[in-house]
Structure 1
Amino acid sequence: MSLYLFVVAALAGPTILPWKDALTKAYQDITDDQVLRSLSYDLARKARSCPARSFAVGSTLSSDLNFSQPVIVNSDVNPVLCLVFSGQGPQHVAMGRELSTVFPVFLSAVKLCDEILVGTYGQKSFLERTGLFIPNEQAKLPENQVWPIEEVVYSIVFMQLALVDLVKSLGIEYTYAIGHSIGEIAMGYASGHYTKKTAVGIAAARATAMAQVSGNGSMAALGACYHRAKYMIKQILADANVEEGLWIAAINSPKDVTIAGDSKLIDKLVLIAQGRKIFVAKLKVTCAFHTPLMDLCEKDFRTMAKLAFAEGTGTPVIRTMSTVDPGWLERDMDEDYCWDNISRPVLFGKAVDDIVKQRGPDNVVFLEISPHPVLQAYINHCGGKAFSLVRRPNPKTPAKNTGEYHQLLEGIGGLFSAGFKAINFAELCATPDGQQDFIQCKLPEYPYNRSKCWSESASDRSMRLREKRRPLASTMFRFNCETHPDLTGHVIFDRPIFPASG
């Protein structure tokens, strides 16, 4: 079933509802694909000049569509887009399957990644052994998201590389990119540092090396600032009578960090945080990433990474904010950088904060490239505006499980409603094979507010428009030196001036 993004825009917020009703009345019975694609394109194109915007996604423009809350967009603001690539955690068995069915470019990218993995790096087919992504295939991984580290790495990287290709094919232009942990692999691809071959090679090196230290520890997300987290770690280590074993693995925002280390100490941290009513969530990973515990796999990683970097790296086409080094990325994303990405803490919060401060909160929007949004809260805590493309199904709220196709169009609609303009709606509304065969849609009359500002009778209008009396210019007030000789000394620029004392 085809879905369409319908953007309803008006000159003022109160006009949104009658304009939507007029459009619905005119097109609610239309099911022709070409007409609906043309209508979607025409509405979006006209909406660029309107400050009040709302949108909905559906198979037809029916009266029961759930339109978003109308927002007012400042036409003088032109925010840029920053892609944000998540790390491990959001993987799930249904990831990318509907996108593979609807968008050939997504499925082709996933298959190409798998071909590179097998043909260039001599690994077993990820798609065959897991059943992920391919339509009508049964997933062979558990639904609890606790997968072998190799499958986690490949699933995240394949999904993100394919999403980058899909975003480009839909005509969405981005200016910046940020990657969280393993997300910097796909960030390198999006920015032009890596080819798809290099990115898959780095993923293979990382997956192979990580497998050597799988089970070396655990990780937990903690809703506390950096200093409070350090104090809690100090307390736990003192109670355990050890000098080390817990580290801050990521600084995600001014209010959030990730802790990694020994599994028993992580469990102790979880209990203490829960007792103090601090948000804490143990992550579904089997390694203590971004800590000294990863040093044991450095040799294995570098050995395999040399093949991935055999052809070097490319010239970036956009700017990237590093989460390894503070600030804009100023060095090559080579083997050394990739190892630092594994072993050093993730400075995600600082990266987002730097972009928000440099561009201004109204001049940049963030789009999370992930199987499920896990970084949006962190971005919001840093003052940014975050959007996502897809989400994993939630068994607790089946009515909200609209599917990846629907969610993708919703995400694009959210970007547009936030004032983001660099969306090529001709490509977005084209056929799956790229044909832009749009036709002219006859839109209903725009619902202008034609009420009069006031009611006025003919006699009232005559009184309002008649010539006004000029009492201070009557003949009895006219004077000159002849009529009033005393004014002879009160002449300025040949004009008599009547003294105030008179």
Structure 2
Amino acid sequence: MSQIAFLFPGQGAQHVGMGKTIAERFPAARRLYDQAREILGYDLADLCFNGPAERLDATVISQPALFVSSLAALELLREQNPAAIEGCSHAAGLSLGEYTALVFAGAMTFEDGLRVVKRRGEAMQAAADANPSGMVSALLLDREKVEQVREGASVAGQIWIANYLCPGNTVLSGEKPACAKAVEVIEQIGGKPIPLTVAGAFHTPLMQSACSALDEALRGVTIQPPRIPVVSNVDARSHSDPEEIRQLLVRQVVQPVLWEDSVRALLAAGATQFFEVGPGKVLKGLMKRIDRKLDCQSINDTP
């Protein structure tokens, strides 16, 4: 019998119009957006459905928007394949998506999860504003060559490897001059650089100032042992102890996202069928780079 794992997307998967059709079709999904308006103090549904894109893409907006829209997408899956929701045995989320996974797994309530995500987005935006920084994807290079890129770019400033996404797709994150240098080095050694449109150097020590605010927010909510294993971005392992989960979520903002390792941990745990639940199809694409034979379906309202 196949084991099912749910994957939830992270920042960057947002797009204007996300969740609109689902909210129109499913009252339970619409209620999530209504609850979000009360918690956040602004109309998240209007921003998700109508934009503008510049505001939706802001870290303080995109994180709550993806969190809510991904949970809303579960209502679509509940209609299409209710057995998948009942049979899901593992979960993981890319960066922000880890919060969505934990809420799905019952570790946090929707309301508490959204309050923490709101504070996380604010704290990460503030850390980014304090230090001009960015991120660059290095395509077509293995991990060893990406480390060479990091070393070569470090002459221009602080830079780290931030995301191990899949074979041939690794993200560097750091100060803007170092990111610009990384682009040059990637091209020099035969890779393909893609500067990312993000607010700052996420998943690096440059986000350290966000940790205290996030820790405070997490200590203000109740975390329960998840009812199914949720693989952590930090160490590619699942954890049941609420205090461990809390600490790992704080560490996540300053440490690399081990996404490829997390997927391989799900495979080692027996997962054979995957559902990407939420906006976009980024995770499905990464899955195919990890193992072309993997069965992964995207659940969203994008044609």
User: Please, what TM-score do these two structures have when normalized by structure 2?
Assistant: 0.87
What is the distance in 2 between the residues matched to 1:82 and 1:159?
19
**Match of residue 438 from structure 1:** none
Q: What amino acid does structure 1 have at the position aligned with 2:46?
A: G
Report the secondary structure of 1:132's partner residue: helix
Q: What amino acid does structure 1 have at the position aligned with 2:168?
A: K
Q: CA RMSD in A?
A: 2.3
Q: What amino acid does structure 2 have at the position aligned with 1:250?
A: N
**Match of residue 281 from structure 1:** 194
**Match of residue 373 from structure 1:** 281
Q: What amino acid does structure 2 have at the position aligned with 1:322?
A: S
The residue correspondences of 1:98-137 to structure 2 (distance < 5 A) are 98-115=21-38, 117=39, 123-127=40-44, 131-133=46-48
Taking a change above 3 Å as real, the CA distance of residues 275 and 97 of structure 1, as seen in their structure-2 partners, is farther
How far did 1:201 drift? Answer: 1.6
For 1:299-319, what per-residue CA distance to the aligned partner results, in whole angstroms no more than 9, with x for missing partners?
222333333x1xx22232212
For 1:186-215, what per-residue CA distance to the aligned partner results, in whole angstroms no more than 9, with x for missing partners?
010111111111211211220221231134
Taking a change above 3 Å as real, the CA distance of residues 265 and 99 of structure 1, as seen in their structure-2 partners, is same
Q: What amino acid does structure 2 have at the position aligned with 1:201?
A: R
Structure 1 or 2: larger strand share?
2
The residue correspondences of 1:50-449 to structure 2 (distance < 5 A) are 78-115=1-38, 117=39, 123-127=40-44, 131-133=46-48, 138-142=50-54, 147-168=57-78, 170=80, 171=82, 172-173=84-85, 174-215=88-129, 216=131, 217-223=133-139, 224-238=141-155, 240=156, 245-307=158-220, 309=221, 312-332=222-242, 334-359=245-270, 364-383=272-291, 384-390=294-300, 404=301, 407=303
Report the secondary structure of 1:386's partner residue: strand
Report the secondary structure of 1:285's partner residue: coil
Q: What amino acid does structure 1 have at the position aligned with 2:230?
A: T
Taking a change above 3 Å as real, the CA distance of residues 179 and 225 of structure 1, as seen in their structure-2 partners, is same
**Match of residue 23 from structure 1:** none
How far did 1:282 drift? Answer: 1.7
CA contact (8 A) 2:152 2:185 kept: no
Report the secondary structure of 2:124's partner residue: helix
How many aligned residue pairs are there? 293
CA contact (8 A) 2:22 2:76 kept: no
Larger Rg over CA atoms: 1
How far did 1:159 drift? Answer: 0.8
What is the distance in 2 between the residues matched to 1:286 and 1:343?
15
Report the secondary structure of 1:323's partner residue: coil
How far did 1:388 drift? Answer: 1.0
CA contact (8 A) 2:22 2:73 kept: no
CA contact (8 A) 2:161 2:173 kept: yes
Taking a change above 3 Å as real, the CA distance of residues 313 and 331 of structure 1, as seen in their structure-2 partners, is same
For 1:428-450, what per-residue CA distance to the aligned partner results, in whole angstroms no more than 9, with x for missing partners?
xxxxxxxxxxxxxxxxxxxxxxx
What is the distance in 1 between the residues matched to 2:169 and 2:120?
26
Q: What amino acid does structure 2 have at the position aligned with 1:220?
A: V
Structure 1 unmatched runs, 5+: 1-77, 118-122, 391-403, 408-502
CA contact (8 A) 2:26 2:75 kept: no
CA contact (8 A) 1:95 1:132 kept: no
What is the distance in 2 between the residues matched to 1:164 and 1:221?
30
CA contact (8 A) 1:195 1:314 kept: no
Bigger relative contact order, structure 1 or 2, given CA contacts below 8 A and separation 6+? Answer: 2
What is the distance in 2 between the residues matched to 1:259 and 1:370?
25
Report the secondary structure of 1:234's partner residue: helix
Structure 2 unmatched runs, 5+: none
Report the secondary structure of 2:163's partner residue: strand
What is the distance in 2 between the residues matched to 1:194 and 1:236?
40
What is the distance in 2 between the residues matched to 1:337 and 1:180?
14
CA contact (8 A) 1:100 1:133 kept: no
CA contact (8 A) 2:163 2:171 kept: yes
What is the distance in 1 between the residues matched to 2:213 and 2:76?
33
